[in-house]
Amino acid sequence: MTVEVRLVGPEGVETETFDPEEADALTRPTTVELLRAVAREEPASIRETARLVDRDVRQVHDNLWELGQLGLVEFDRSGRAHRPVVDYDRIEIEVTLRDRPEPP
């Protein structure tokens, strides 16, 4: 089973394929809140991001780093701080339950 994730933004649509465990990390309520905060507020650092979502800096760091490994968050490393960046406006998730042959 695969999970297809489409990242929809001003520059078009980017499609990624994840396994179910990776997709689970994406759909957690704390992750959705974190992605929304980064997209809307454009925080200058991970510490500022943690303040926005009222969570521990270490937890936010780990969550953002995990999302970075999945290609869902980028980090602007100009200066000392790692500024998280989300370049899309919407996430669309499609779950394939059964592969079917294409009709002729």
- Give me the pLDDT at residue 100, please: 73
Residues 14-27 have a mean pLDDT of 88
Q: For the segment 36-75, what is each residue's pLDDT rounded down to a tens digit? A: 999 999 999 999 999 999 999 999 999 999 999 999 999 9
- Name the pTM for this structure: 0.84
- Give me the pLDDT at residue 2, please: 81
- Map out the domains of the chain with their CATH numbers: 2-96 (1.10.10.10)
CA distance 47 to 81: 9
Residue with tokens 């943690």: 50
Q: Residue 28 burial (CB < 10 Å; 0-12/13-18/19+)? A: exposed
